[in-house]
Amino acid sequence: MSSFSDNSEHEAVSNFREYLRIPSVHPDVDYSKCVEFILRQAQSLGLPSNIFYVAPGKPIVIITWTGQNPELPSILLNSHMDVVPVYPEKWTYKPFSAHKDESGNIFARGAQDMKCVGIQYIETIRKYLKEKLAFDRTIHISFVPDEEIGGVLGMGTFVKSPEFSALNVGFALDEGLASPDNSFSLYYGERTLWHLKIKCTGSPGHGSLLHENTAGEKLHFIINKFMNWRDIEKLRLKNSDLGIGDVTSINLTMLEGGCQVNVVPPELCVYFDVRLAIEVNSAKMENTINQWCNEAGDGVTLEFIECKGTQVQPTKLNEENPYWIAFKKQCDTMNLTLRTCIFPGATDSRYIREIGIPALGFSPINNTPILLHDNDEFLNENIFLRGIEIYYNIIKSLASV
């Protein structure tokens, strides 16, 4: 029993709140307290755990429950330990206090994204063990670092390791999003994430003259091309029943350059966050952007920074995927309304799908405002506990495929 529990609180909620109180927040996350907490949970389950370091200071913790037929491909239940930064002055309660109000709303960074899911996995397995259930497939619960900064040194590296291969994963569950209505969102694919830097060089000089071939003119050309592309996608979204995950998003996020207001700079840079819709041919789009750079003039170059996602095929939602059939059957049995979507952001699922393993993103949270990365992020304890019951049926079915 967690030290934070009381007579009126469910043990699972107490464990959840204890996990939320660990400030595993960027930048420079110290994961040691998370690892210590997860190892204690594994010990309380009586299950073995392993810690892998695929990069210095980036632990990956795996709790394993071996199935009756361990040669079968396993089920991976993935979550990430890290959370995004906070603006404490914008929060009603301290963001790492896991304050619970009189309505049972638990306020903390990570309440929705996604410490809830990691604890729900653990508590689901705890119920199985208490009931002395057994399944054919091995179940691994993974806790990974750095998802919130791209996951390159977390799941991105782990999937290429022999340690991951040894897990023999056949299917993975990962995070989804809360749903503000009574339905539940199910994510079967992701857009391709690009972080772009376009550098424009040109003739410097005095700000009183009209120089030819300036960096500013080239920057203006490039920004217009991207903003026109953005306008087209906004119209597609507005004039259809498409969701944000079904279109390409383009956002100008940073500008760099210049030293003084009366000096024409030799270089200006613009940064874009681009998420390509799944039907967009990424190679053709890259060629188009390079063409824009050529049209803008000499000395205009495209660079991918941090993230140049590769185009990954979505997980199939048909009879070819027995895991989907099992998942959907259980949701139908529980009378859950599912909305199948392309995830608007990026999760660790993309690395798993990239190596050919089917993965679904699902957080059993409904009737809750979407507050990941927002101020006053919260999750109601009753929604949290119902999520464990939902996972209880779904994971049991997946482990029996």
pTM, two decimal places: 0.91
285: alpha, beta or left, given left = phi > 0 and alpha = psi -120 to 50? Answer: alpha
Q: Return the amino acid letter for 53.
A: Y
190 belongs to the catalytic site: no
Q: Which residues contact 318 (CB under 8 A, 6 or more apart)?
A: 324
* Nearest alpha-carbon partner for 226 in 271, 283, 192, 282: 271
Angle among Cα 239, 240, 245 to the nearest 5 degrees reads 115
48 to each of 54, 162, 287, how far by Cα in Å? Answer: 20, 19, 49
131 belongs to the catalytic site: no
Residue spans of the domains in the chain: they are: 11-190+314-398, 192-277+279-308
Name the active-site residue from 18, 82, 113, 174: 82
pLDDT digits (tens), the chain, 401 positions: 344 445 689 999 999 999 999 999 999 999 999 999 999 999 999 999 999 999 999 999 999 999 999 999 999 999 999 999 999 999 999 999 999 999 999 999 999 999 999 999 999 999 999 999 999 999 999 999 999 999 999 999 999 999 999 999 999 999 999 999 999 999 999 999 999 999 999 999 999 999 999 999 999 999 999 999 999 999 999 999 999 999 999 999 999 999 999 999 999 999 999 999 999 999 999 999 999 999 999 999 999 997 687 889 999 999 999 999 999 999 999 999 999 999 998 899 999 999 999 999 999 999 999 999 999 999 999 999 999 999 999 999 999 99
Distance CA 328, CA 82 (A): 30
Name the active-site residue from 18, 123, 147, 190: 147
Bridge-based pairing of strands 184-190 and 338-343 is parallel
Which CATH class for the 192-277+279-308 domain? alpha beta
Which CATH class for the 11-190+314-398 domain? alpha beta
**Extended beta strands in 212-332, E state:** 249-257, 263-264, 267-276, 300-308
